[in-house]
Amino acid sequence: MRGYKLLLTGLLAVGFGAAVQAEQVRIYGEAHMSAEWLDDGDSSGMNTSSNATRIGFTASTELQPGLTAIMQIEQGLRMDNGAGNWASRDTFVGLRGDFGTVRLGFMQSPLMMMRSRLDLFGNRIGDIRNITKLNDQYGGKDWDRRLRNGIHYRSPAFNGFVGELHYSTNDTAGTSQDGRNEDVLSVGLGYTAGNLLVLGAWERAGGTRPQATRVAAQWQHDDWTVMGLAQFARLRTAGNVDVYGVGVSRRWQDLTFKGHVFTTDSSLADRDATMFALGADWHLGERAVLYVTYAATRNDRLANFNMSGGGAHGAELDLTGLQGNNPQGLAVGFIYPF
């Protein structure tokens, strides 16, 4: 009897191992917390902030040679106040093969992804989204938000080029049958040649059909990284709003020093702002990072652009009624990916 049990246990272990190997299930995530001093221009105080802390699950299975089923569920966690929502970040199911990748779900658009690839202060104070998303200033479309009900196609690489096409049938929690005309179309194209990366994307939203175009480039050489991004938004209710910015980083042994500056240029008087950020990262081992960042925004008389928040940074200053103020902040943070 004992031999039978050992044999059965061995067979179950082999079968379970084969199933796991076939499915290739993976758990991943990132813990990111910071302690910050934030000043809205009238008052200041200390805060702790959970910044895009997340956990995700992926799985893939080869259905036949050249065709793989893929799945991802990713959620954001608030380590500062003990909260979170399932599937609050990129969550999808799809197929990958020689034809490219097709996904259905809740995902970043090509326009959003190109900014996140280049942002030197992503998910921290000074995040570019504080300037580029625009909805806090002019209402309507947020140009740095994941899209609901998405159909996303990514092409295979061809001579350095990769194309992307995203269509959201209805960027709301409901259906497209209610006549609200909330579909979104977003396209992107990337080109890589050696140390140079060039990106372009265009997005048009439903309703009043606002649209935005982004072009960006990044050059890396040895320990240097230089990037630049421009955004041209056409808003039916607020005219034209353009954003320009550049950034640079330099790695020296276990330290990376970096900074960027972004400014708006709108057709409305006294509604522009300039944001800059400076920081240093200390790389601890292969993955963990301890950092310090200072960021500030200089607003025109009628503008109240932020420098904290931006979409994923947890501690966001409330600038309601504070037009013309100049918010600033200093953060010390720790990032541990797993």
Q: Residues of 112-124 as b/e, b for ≥16 C-beta within 10 angstroms?
A: bbbbbebbbbbbb
Amino acid at site 247: G
In angstroms, the CA 314 to CA 312 distance is 6
Query: Domain locations in the chain?
Result: 27-337
Torsion of CA 162, 134, 74, 336, to 10 degrees: 90
**Please, are residues 141 and 91 in contact by the beta-carbon 8 Å criterion?**
no
**Residues found in the chain:** 338
Helix (H, G, I), strand (E, B) or coil at 325: coil
**How much is the pLDDT for 178?**
58
**How much is the pLDDT for 312?**
77
pLDDT digits (tens, 9 = 90+) for 86-102: 889 999 999 999 999 99
Residue whose tokens read 């050992």:
6
pLDDT digits (tens, 9 = 90+) for 294-318: 999 999 999 999 999 877 788 889 8
Of 182, 179, 219, 212, the closest CA to residue 198 belongs to 219
Phi and psi angles of residue 110, each rounded to the nearest 5 degrees, phi first: -55, -35
Assign a CATH topology to domain 27-337: Porin (2.40.160)
For residue 129, the number of C-alpha atoms closer than 13 Å in the C-beta half-sphere is 25
**Please, are residues 281 and 325 in contact by the beta-carbon 8 Å criterion?**
no
Residues of the chain with pLDDT below 70 are 1-22, 140, 174-180
**How much is the pLDDT for 17?**
45
**How much is the pLDDT for 13?**
42
